[in-house]
Homo-oligomer: A and B are copies of this chain.
Amino acid sequence: MKKNITQCVLGILVAASSVITHAQQPTTIVGMEQLAWSEIAPGVWSAQIGEAEPMTFRELAGAPSRLDDMEAMGETEFPFDESQTHGQVIGTRTSVRLPLGLTEQVYGLGVQFRNMNRRGQVYHLRTDHYGGVLGRTHAPSPFYVTSDGYGVLFNTVKWISVYPGIGNRKDSTLPPIRDRTTDPAWQARPTSDAVEASAMTEGMEVIVFAGPTPLEAVQRYNLYFGGGALVPRWGLGFWHRVPTAATAEAVTAEVDEFAKRDFPLDVIGLEPGWQSHAYPGSFDWSPVRFPDPRGFVDAMGERDLKVNLWENPYISPTSSIFEEMKPYTGSHTVWLGEVPDYTMPEARELISDHHQKSHLDIGVSGYKIDEVDGVDSWLWPDHATFPSGTSAEDMRQTYGSQVQKWQSDMFRASDTRTYGLVRGSNAGASAYPYAIYSDYYNHKGFVTALCNSSLSGVLWTPEIRSANSDEEWVRRMQTVVFSPLAMLNAWSSGLKPWSREEVIPEIRDAMKWRVRFLPYLYTAFAQYHFEGTPPFRAMVLEPGYIPSKDEKGVLDDVSNPYAQAVRRDVTDQYMMGDSLLVAPFFMGQKERTVILPIGNWYDFYTGELAGNGEVITVPADLSFIPLFVKEGGIIPLLKEANNTSVWTKGVDLEVRHYGTEAGSTRLYDDDGKTFAYDRGEYSWYAINVEKSDRGKLKGSVLQSSGDFPQTFGKIKWKFMTE
């Protein structure tokens, strides 16, 4: 895997004979030291520049590294030329320089809403609500993966600026110099030979994750941070949030309407009004709207529904724990609430004890952690102070992770899995069972974020809130049911799935598919946990996928004054699990193109061959979201159901096979709700389809490992392409 960057560049220099070259051909990077790497986990190397930092993503991670699973991935070597890696500390700034090939592409850097390929843009990574500013986002993870099949984490919680393929040092191997006035081959930005990054800190750890493929690099990253979150089975059903001032009676009436109208529902989310005071929040139940919290949660439980509570972490003077929390809050208020310093054990203990007693002990299943990201003008300023001495920036960069941590620890201590939502996260959060969301509401941006989340070890939900038309309503619903968390967030709109009468069948159909995919999707989450494979994945992680290239730009004194190349990233389709390609329609589309990787791909609904390594066009129809299955793909489904609890009752499965070739997949099973899987209580089933000499397909299911008793019933086989 080692590459000689210098040779690549020289190839170009020889080819271009009529241009000016810099006189120097340097061999050393002035003032920077070569990094010293040591393997800290299988296929994972670390180098420390300067001083070790007191807080890193390792301490914020949700679980210990899954070293055995990493070991099982096989041996690998350091993925690029160590001699080309450099670091430097000057005053309070630490910088790092790693090599980058001339055609190497860079992916990741957190939940980004534009593009896939990060090469050629600067990212000032800051935790923030996304509002169109590159780099400021809900999970600004300083982790990237390249097309050459390795990953790099800058393991600092500081604000870091990353320069992937930006610029050239004067003492590096420089590309040829051309004259803009006369040479049509002049490049506005000469091809860069490095990824550079720096932060205001007196030291930084850099961690490299081997591949050899981009997907394997991501897997190692996730496993290093404890493996992906194995969410409870109920978390993969349909979620609905009620209007903010709803009472217990109103909520009960609303959920009963779901059953009456035959719409799926697994989780009901309460908004700020469940509290006695918000904003700022008291964290205490409203005696007016929820006089009997336990009775309410029990009533929901009887309907197989879980209760999720909206919260932001800023505490009201009216809270029952305000006086106790006061010594542990920062200098500034947020919505006049004080800001707990959750880096302090006293603050964590206080809030956990309160939430355990008031919420978890009566059956609350989890939280929606709002407003831990930004916008700047809502949160504390960069110069706010906190009693632990943690800086305001560090606090902002990690606040979402901190809340995920104390909540996750609380649920784990009760041997109860949770699944929730969070608006701010960062690197190292793979093991936290939270989907990130945003007040931003661009449908295409939401799907781009879904693709990018897979490259950073986080989950993302393109939640549906409202729509300007029936078409948008359907398109958003079809997308969210093929995402990590399928939710209608009607806190403000008050909408129900049946609110737009003309498209009730399409909405119901999409929601029911969500529940039907449970066996397939739950297995994908188990793979996330045990193998680090993201359940939803950008196409660049898919074998056989060929990323598109940049196109030559046209000079325009308004829109493109430097005639820069135009990037064509594919951000509107993604993989769910190992076999399914999802290509949502967007509002206004009469048709859309879908890029099929190399290999045969089949229409999910009909089993017909759709294409192979080509771009196909799919005519739009409101009734469906385009789904494709790869050759030999096997999809285990539930039969139609409205609640995921049917699985725990020995439900029959429908197993679909696509294509004309043999295939195999796996099915994961456990109790679906506790951490028993961590104690070995789970099973894997091998689902195989064999092809006889006469071309006849035949399926079988075998318990391949584990001794957890089977929870599903009979299998009905469907050979879709027969």
Q: Which residues of A contact B (CB under 8 A)?
A: 20, 22-23, 30-31, 88, 90-93, 95, 120-122, 124, 132-133, 161, 163, 166-171, 174-175, 177, 179-182, 186, 188-190, 196, 198, 200, 244-245, 272-273, 275, 277-280, 286, 316-318, 329-336, 338, 375-378, 380-383, 385, 391, 439, 441, 465-466, 489, 491-493, 555-558, 561
Interface contact A381-B333, CB-CB below 8 Å: no
Bound Cα distance from A539 to B681, whole angstroms? 72
Shortest A136–chain B CB gap in Å is: 9
Task: List, sorted by A's number, 23 A–B pairs whose CB atoms are closer than 8 Å.
Answer: A20-B318, A30-B331, A31-B331, A91-B391, A92-B200, A93-B383, A95-B381, A122-B375, A122-B376, A163-B381, A167-B334, A168-B333, A169-B333, A174-B336, A180-B279, A181-B278, A188-B335, A189-B378, A198-B382, A200-B200, A465-B558, A492-B557, A492-B561
Bound Cα distance from A311 to B198, whole angstroms? 30
Q: A180-B272, A200-B200, A558-B441 are in contact. Are A377 and B335 (CB under 8 A)?
A: no
Interface contact B170-A466, CB-CB below 8 Å: no
- For residue A168, which residues in chain B have a CB less than 8 angstroms away from its CB? 332-333, 336
- For residue A171, which residues in chain B have a CB less than 8 angstroms away from its CB? 331
**Which one, B132, B167, B381, contacts A332 given CB within 8 A?**
B167
**Which one, B163, B181, B338, B557, contacts A466 given CB within 8 A?**
B557
**Which one, B121, B273, B332, contacts A169 given CB within 8 A?**
B332
- For residue A334, which residues in chain B have a CB less than 8 angstroms away from its CB? 167
Interface contact A278-B331, CB-CB below 8 Å: no
**Which one, B93, B166, B275, B466, contacts A377 given CB within 8 A?**
B166
- For residue A90, which residues in chain B have a CB less than 8 angstroms away from its CB? 383, 385
Bound Cα distance from A611 to B491, whole angstroms? 48
Which residue of B is nearest A91, CB measured? B391
Shortest A89–chain B CB gap in Å is: 10
- For residue A88, which residues in chain B have a CB less than 8 angstroms away from its CB? 383
- For residue A124, which residues in chain B have a CB less than 8 angstroms away from its CB? 376
- For residue A120, which residues in chain B have a CB less than 8 angstroms away from its CB? 377
Interface contact A381-B161, CB-CB below 8 Å: yes
Which residue of B is nearest A491, CB measured? B557
- For residue A179, which residues in chain B have a CB less than 8 angstroms away from its CB? 277-278
- For residue A30, which residues in chain B have a CB less than 8 angstroms away from its CB? 331
Bound Cα distance from A22 to B323, whole angstroms? 12
Q: A20-B317, A333-B170, A382-B161 are in contact. Are A181 and B273 (CB under 8 A)?
A: yes
- For residue A382, which residues in chain B have a CB less than 8 angstroms away from its CB? 93, 161, 198
Q: A22-B336, A336-B190 are in contact. Are A181 and B245 (CB under 8 A)?
A: yes
- For residue A174, which residues in chain B have a CB less than 8 angstroms away from its CB? 333, 336
Shortest A249–chain B CB gap in Å is: 16
Interface contact A167-B465, CB-CB below 8 Å: no
Shortest A70–chain B CB gap in Å is: 32
Shortest A389–chain B CB gap in Å is: 9
- For residue A161, which residues in chain B have a CB less than 8 angstroms away from its CB? 381-383
Bound Cα distance from A226 to B112, whole angstroms? 46
Bound Cα distance from A196 to B62, whole angstroms? 36
Bound Cα distance from A170 to B166, whole angstroms? 43
Shortest A183–chain B CB gap in Å is: 10
Bound Cα distance from A680 to B186, whole angstroms? 51
Interface contact B121-A377, CB-CB below 8 Å: yes
Q: A22-B317, A333-B168 are in contact. Are A493 and B381 (CB under 8 A)?
A: no
- For residue A92, which residues in chain B have a CB less than 8 angstroms away from its CB? 92, 200
- For residue A391, which residues in chain B have a CB less than 8 angstroms away from its CB? 91, 93
Shortest A630–chain B CB gap in Å is: 36
Bound Cα distance from A88 to B385, whole angstroms? 11
- For residue A279, which residues in chain B have a CB less than 8 angstroms away from its CB? 180, 186
Bound Cα distance from A493 to B20, whole angstroms? 29
Bound Cα distance from A288 to B196, whole angstroms? 39
Q: A198-B381, A377-B189 are in contact. Are A555 and B336 (CB under 8 A)?
A: no
Bound Cα distance from A182 to B282, whole angstroms? 14
Q: A280-B177, A492-B555 are in contact. Are A439 and B561 (CB under 8 A)?
A: yes
Extra contacts besides A167-B377, A177-B317 (4): CB < 8 Å: A181-B286, A188-B335, A190-B336, A200-B200
Interface contact B333-A383, CB-CB below 8 Å: no
Shortest A554–chain B CB gap in Å is: 11
Which residue of B is nearest A375, CB measured? B122
Bound Cα distance from A163 to B383, whole angstroms? 10
Shortest A13–chain B CB gap in Å is: 13
Shortest A133–chain B CB gap in Å is: 5
**Which one, B31, B181, B190, B380, contacts A335 given CB within 8 A?**
B190
- For residue A335, which residues in chain B have a CB less than 8 angstroms away from its CB? 188-190
Task: Report the 5 A-B pairs with minimum CB-CB distance, sorted nearest first.
Answer: A198-B383, A95-B383, A492-B557, A122-B376, A181-B273
**Which one, B188, B338, B381, B489, contacts A167 given CB within 8 A?**
B381
Interface contact A196-B492, CB-CB below 8 Å: no
Which residue of B is nearest A559, CB measured? B441
Which residue of B is nearest A132, CB measured? B132
Bound Cα distance from A577 to B330, whole angstroms? 49
Interface contact B317-A23, CB-CB below 8 Å: yes
Bound Cα distance from A491 to B562, whole angstroms? 12
- For residue A121, which residues in chain B have a CB less than 8 angstroms away from its CB? 377
Bound Cα distance from A2 to B70, whole angstroms? 67
- For residue A170, which residues in chain B have a CB less than 8 angstroms away from its CB? 329-333, 338
- For residue A93, which residues in chain B have a CB less than 8 angstroms away from its CB? 382-383, 391
Interface contact B493-A180, CB-CB below 8 Å: no
Bound Cα distance from A333 to B31, whole angstroms? 16
Bound Cα distance from A93 to B245, whole angstroms? 42
Interface contact A122-B175, CB-CB below 8 Å: no
- For residue A190, which residues in chain B have a CB less than 8 angstroms away from its CB? 333, 335-336
Bound Cα distance from A375 to B122, whole angstroms? 9
Shortest A286–chain B CB gap in Å is: 8
Shortest A30–chain B CB gap in Å is: 7
- For residue A188, which residues in chain B have a CB less than 8 angstroms away from its CB? 335
Interface contact A331-B169, CB-CB below 8 Å: yes
Shortest A93–chain B CB gap in Å is: 6
Shortest A310–chain B CB gap in Å is: 11
